[in-house]
Amino acid sequence: MGFDAREFVAEELWLLIGVVTVVLVSLAGIVGLEALSGAIAVVGFLLLVPLFLFWGEEIADLVFEEPAETTSITAEQEDDAIEELKRRYAAGEIDDDEFERRLDRLVGVEGVLEDAFTSDSPSGDVPSPARSSDAESREREPEWER
């Protein structure tokens, strides 16, 4: 049960800004700096308090944003990986079996994704092995799917 800065900024910072604004406006008024007192009131009450009251969570997300880890491999990264694999194979760093295994792993992911998104079944299931020829299936599918 510790202090969570992100939660504080998201939910309670607007209240602290309001209290600090009241104190600063009062002190500036007592000292005789009415112009400064008015400027503090405008910035505090009309700008900062509504900003953190209505958009505190979004501000907290921006301030305490953790770097997003990208798990997807782009086509360029995949090409780079295949080129590196070819280079290592050509240099003799890896043998035939290792090269084939790694290449299958790199290219295999692409094939699985393509199968999942190009399935003929509406539920997204993997197509059955007893599938008719491409010409027959093209005749049965609607024009907009071609």
At residue 55, does pLDDT exceed 70? yes
Q: What is the pLDDT of residues 16-29, one digit of tens each?
A: 999 999 999 999 99
pLDDT in tens, 69-124: 555 556 677 678 888 888 888 888 888 888 888 888 877 765 665 666 665 555 54
Specify the length of the chain in residues: 146
Looking at residue 12, its pLDDT comes to 86
- For residue 30, is pLDDT > 90? yes
The residue that leads in pLDDT, 107 or 33, is 33
Across 37-41, 96-100, 115-119, 125-129, the highest mean pLDDT is recorded for 37-41
SS (H, E, C) 75-105: HHHHHHHHHHHHHHHHCCCCCHHHHHHHHHH
Cα–Cα dist 104/95, whole Å: 14
Handedness of CA 7, 8, 9, 10 (dihedral sign): positive
Please give the Cα distance from 51 to 14 (Å, whole number): 8
| Displacement of CA 103 from its chain's centroid (Å) | 29
pLDDT at 64: 84
**What global pTM score does this model have?**
0.43
